[in-house]
Amino acid sequence: MVPAPGLPSPFVDIFSGTARAVQPDEVLDDPALERRARALSVGLRCLVCQNQSIDDSDAALAKDLRVLVRERLEAGDSDEAVIDYVVARYGEFVLLKPRLSFGTIVLWTAPAALILAGAAFALYSARRHKREPASIGLTADEESAVERTLAERGL
């Protein structure tokens, strides 16, 4: 795919032709470190846009996070150390693909558990309702009492 006119090729996504938000002053001199920085920033959520990675976002906070990622890489941190550092500062929400933990397991299984609990309660209620004897009408004593009351009132 041919880059858009006026945009340098490193700032254009090869697959979709869309421009990224990375500014020329953010790009690292070392191509290997820049590739790592881009790979990391694609997986980090922009806390302003929330449905974009910091690589795609033009928000000032996204730029700050891109610069932070690059600074940590230049300081010699591993990819995992950079991610851990960002998560420690901003929480798990900053990850576009959250890590598997107790909290995420609860979050993803709670709806299914609630549906199953509701279905079990409905089934229990239906079975309990079946066991109760059906009303068969008034007994003979009750019918005579009703007739006496109606006769006394002249109905």
To the nearest whole percent, how much of the chain has pLDDT over 70?
83
Q: Is 18 helix (H, G, I), strand (E, B) or coil?
A: coil
User: How high is the mean pLDDT of the chain?
Assistant: 82
Model confidence band, residue 6 (pLDDT cutoffs 50, 70, 90): very low
Q: How far apart, in Å, are the Cα atoms of 69 and each of 6, 66, 96?
A: 27, 5, 15
> Cα separation of 72 and 77, whole Å?
6
Average the pLDDT over 15-37 and give the result.
Answer: 72
pLDDT in tens, 43-56: 999 988 878 889 88
> What count of other Cβ atoms lies within 10 Å of the Cβ of residue 45?
22
Helix/strand/coil percentages in the chain, nearest 5: 60, 5, 35
Give the CB-side neighbour count of residue 81, counting CA atoms within 13 A. Answer: 9
pLDDT at 128: 80
* Confidence (pTM): 0.57
Token pair 């550092």 in the structure block, residue: 85
Q: Which helix (H) or strand (E) holds 43?
A: none
Q: Is 62 helix (H, G, I), strand (E, B) or coil?
A: helix
pLDDT at 58: 87
pLDDT at 10 over 50: no
Listed in sequence order, the DSSP H helices in 77-139 are: 79-90, 102-131
pLDDT in tens, 81-133: 999 999 999 988 899 888 888 988 998 899 999 999 999 999 998 888 776 66
Structure tokens at 54: 């910091």
Rounded to the nearest 5°, which phi and psi values hold at 56? -95, -20
